[in-house]
């Protein structure tokens, strides 16, 4: 894993894009082919995969984490383990600079592209760039920890542009947000229950099985074509 800062200046952007593409392509065998739009990709959360059959590729899923310690980091850990096992690559756009690589096994990060943008606007630019790269299976956009007044300034076209990039490449998009933000999310889930302090002593894999996200939106991939 290599953390990559992201900037909009022309020379820095050229260097960053080159570094991102080189990192994605290096060392590993080609990732497993993505499922069709009708099939879900395993998320690493047993309850979610059993209920929805996984999360949709070529679409945006939003996980709303509206309580502290409600399982957002556990969800990411499960996704890292699942994609590693499937020999898929995943990009994590860490807009709030909250990711702690020290809390994960080094082997679970070898397939991860970690991007650390400085603003939400640059985070969307990075996510849109990565969403166009079909060498990736997932692009995760972390927006928790960003002040609400800054999140409210994200224009709707930014979300729809990201959605179109995912649709064209087949990459699965996942956004972690403090409240509902993505107007075009095909699936929206909510994590409400905070873990108790005693949970810190439990094994991470056991805690993941305890996560019970509430499904608030689950649109058919054909709903847009049908006018829904």
pLDDT at 67 over 90: no
Using alpha carbons, select from 5, 216, 17 the residue that is nearest to residue 130: 17
State the pLDDT at residue 51. 84
Q: Is 173 left (phi over 0), alpha (psi -120 to 50) or beta?
A: beta
2-226 fold: Rossmann fold (3.40.50)
pLDDT at 24 over 70: no
State the pLDDT at residue 228. 43
Provide the greatest CA pair distance for the chain.
49
CA-CA distance, 9 to 123, in Å (whole number)? 14
Please state the φ and ψ torsions of residue 66, each to the nearest 5 degrees: -100, 15
pLDDT in tens, 144-183: 999 989 999 999 999 999 999 999 999 999 999 999 999 9
3-state helix, strand, coil in the chain (%, to 5): 40, 20, 40
pLDDT at 48 over 90: no
For every residue of 195-206, DSSP letters joined together read: PPGGGGGS-HHH
- Determine which helix (DSSP H) or strand (DSSP E) holds 114, and give its type and residue range: strand 112-117
pLDDT in tens, 70-127: 778 888 989 999 999 999 999 999 998 989 999 888 999 999 999 999 899 999 999 9
State the pLDDT at residue 14. 56
Q: State mean pLDDT over 185-207.
A: 70
Count other C-beta atoms under 10 Å from residue 103's C-beta: 9
Q: Is 187 left (phi over 0), alpha (psi -120 to 50) or beta?
A: beta
């Amino acid at each position: 894993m290599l953390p990559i800062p992201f900037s909009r200046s022309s020379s820095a952007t050229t260097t960053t894009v080159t570094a991102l593409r080189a990192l994605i392509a290096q060392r590993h065998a080609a990732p497993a082919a993505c499922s069709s739009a009708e099939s879900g990709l395993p998320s690493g959360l047993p309850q979610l995969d059993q209920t929805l059959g996984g999360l949709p590729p070529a679409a945006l899923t939003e996980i709303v984490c509206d309580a502290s310690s409600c399982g957002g980091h556990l969800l990411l850990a499960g996704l890292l383990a699942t994609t590693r096992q499937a020999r898929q690559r995943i990009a994590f756009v860490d807009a709030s600079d909250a990711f702690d690589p020290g809390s994960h096994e080094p082997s679970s990060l070898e397939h991860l592209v970690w991007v650390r943008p400085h603003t939400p606007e640059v985070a969307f630019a990075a996510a849109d760039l990565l969403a166009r790269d079909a060498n990736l299976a997932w692009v995760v956009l972390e927006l928790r920890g960003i002040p609400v007044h800054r999140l409210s300034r994200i224009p709707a076209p930014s979300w729809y542009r990201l959605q179109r990039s995912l649709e064209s490449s087949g990459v699965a998009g996942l956004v972690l947000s403090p409240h509902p933000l993505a107007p075009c999310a095909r699936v929206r889930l909510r994590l409400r229950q905070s873990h108790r302090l005693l949970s810190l002593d439990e094994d991470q894999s056991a805690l993941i099985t305890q996560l019970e996200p509430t499904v608030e939106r689950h649109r058919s991939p054909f709903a847009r074509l049908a006018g829904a």
